[in-house]
A and B are shown apart, each in its own frame.
Chain A
Amino acid sequence: MLSLKDKQNQKIKWRKWNKIIHRDLGYLCVGLTMLYAISGIAVNHIADWNPNYRLERLTSSIDPEPLRTLPPQQLAPAILAAIGESRPLVDSFRPQPDKMQLFVKENTIIVNLKTGAVVQEKSMPRKGLHQMNFLHLNHAKKLWTWFADLYALALFCLALTGMFVLRGKNGITGRGAWLTGAGVFMPLFFLWLYV
C-alpha cells in the first residue's frame, strides 16, 4: 500500500515528465509548425493567387523576315538570340504550322513565325514559399511522408500534454477547460454551418 507521500511523489513525477515532453516536443516542432502555418495561409488562397510561381507574360515582336530563309534547326537559336534569351534551349515544339514554342528554364516562348509576335510565359518559383508548399502538400512523398506523420503525432502529443502543464484555476479544470471547449466547438460550428 502506497503512503500519501509516495502517491504525491508519483503525481509530481508524472507532471514532471508531462512538462518535459511538452517542452522538448514544442522546441522540436517550432520550425515545422511555422513552415506549415506560412504555407497553409499561402495555399488556402490558391483561388486568388499562385502560391508556388510568379507568372509573367511578356509580349514583344521580332522581325520574321530573316527566319524564313533559315533551316529548321537554326530557327530556335535565332529566335532566342533575337529576344535576348541566353539560357540554353531545352526543346521546341510546333503547335501550329506558323507557330513555334521554345522551352528554356523558367520560360516558354511562343513565336508566330508569320507575324513575328512573341509571347514569353515566365514562371519563377517563389523563393522559400515554393519549397514550403512542396513539403506542406507532401509533393516529396517517399521518406517525407513518414517524417510528416511523425510531426503530426508530435503535434497530437503536444496538444495532449499541453492540457496538463498547469494546475489550479488556469489548468484544465478551470480556465483551460473553457478554452479547450471553445477550441473543440469552433470546427464543430463550421461543420454545422457548411455541411
Chain B
Amino acid sequence: MSEVNLRKVVKLFEGGVQAVRGIDLEIADHEFCVLVGPSGCGKSTTLRMIAGLEEVSEGEIWIGGTMVNDIPPKDRDIAMVFQNYALYPHMTVFENMAFGLKLRHFPKDEIKRRVDRAASILSIGELLDRKPKALSGGQRQRVAMGRAIVRDPKVFLFDEPLSNLDAKLRVQMRTEIKKVHQAVKTTTIYVTHDQVEAMTLADRVVVMNHGVIEQVGPPNELYHHPATIFVAGFIGSPAMNFIPARLVNAAGALTIQLGQGLSVPVPADRTARYAPHASKKLLFGIRPEHLTETTRTDKQNLAPITVDLDVIEPMGMETLVHFRIEGTPVCARVDPAAGAQAGAPMRLAAHMDQMHLIDADTGRVL
C-alpha cells in the first residue's frame, strides 16, 4: 500500500509568502499523478514537502498510511529525480545508483542484482563504469531514474525531470518514463509546467494555480470538461479562445451573441443549463481544433461563421489561422487544403457541442 494523501497542506515561507494554500489530494497506489501549472503555482513546493525537503507549515501528509510530517526524507521510503539530475560527479554510474543501497547496508550481491535490473530496464548496462561527466543529458537522466528504481521505494517523485533536455530527447524520455512506470508500477508524483507532458503521462492530472488546486482529473476529462477558465486555457495547445459573449433569448431559442451580427445557437441539450445565466457577463470558449473549415466534417451542431483572416501559419499537417472577433484575437485549426489566405474572408464552422460558456466574473465554466 503506497498511496499518498495530502490534507489541508499549507506552505508558508519566511516573509509571509504562502506558496501552497491548503490543498487536499489523494493519490492512489500505483497511480501516475502529474502536478502541472505555471511557475510559482506551488507544484514544486508541494512535491518537496512530500519528499521532506520542505517542512509542512500546516496540514498533514500521509504516505502508505503513515503521517510523515516529522519524518526525515530518508525514512519516508521515497526516491526523487531532480531537474538537473543531481548525480554525484565523483562516482561512477554504478556507484551513483548503489549509493542509497550502500548507506542502507544492503548486501553486495543484492546491490549488484538491483543495479543490473534497473540498468537493463533503462538500457544503460554499458554505462555503469562511466562518470556522469562522460554521459549525455538523456543518459544522465536515465541514471537519475535508475538511482530511484534500485531503491524500490513506495513513491517516485519527479521534479521537472525533462526540462533540461532538448525537444526531441524530451519526447523520447517521456515515453521512456511511461514505460518504466508500466514496468515497475510504483506510485509516481510528477511535477511539470508542460501540459503536453502532463496529458501524455498522467493517469490523473492536478492543475495548480496560485497555491491552490484548480482541478483534478484524468487528462481527457480536463480537456473536455475544464472546471475553470484557468484549466480551460492551460490545457491544450494552442490555447482555447475566449470571446466576450451575451446570451440572447429569441423566440424561445437561446443564442450566443459574439458581436455585431455574429451569433451562434446554443445546442438544444444545454439550453436549460445556460438559461439562468442570461444576464451575466460571459465568455464563449472554444478550442482552435473545434473551429474548422466547413467542409471538414458533417457532424451536427455546427455553427457557420465567416471571418476575415489576419495571419495564417502552415504547420504541415494542419494550418493555424488567426483572426479577430470584435477585437478579440481568435485562432482556428483548418485543413491545409482548405485554401486559407491571409487578408481573405473564410467560412468556418464552430463545433458547438465542444464549446464552453464561462462566467467572466467567477471564472467558472458553466
Do A and B belong to a common assembly? no
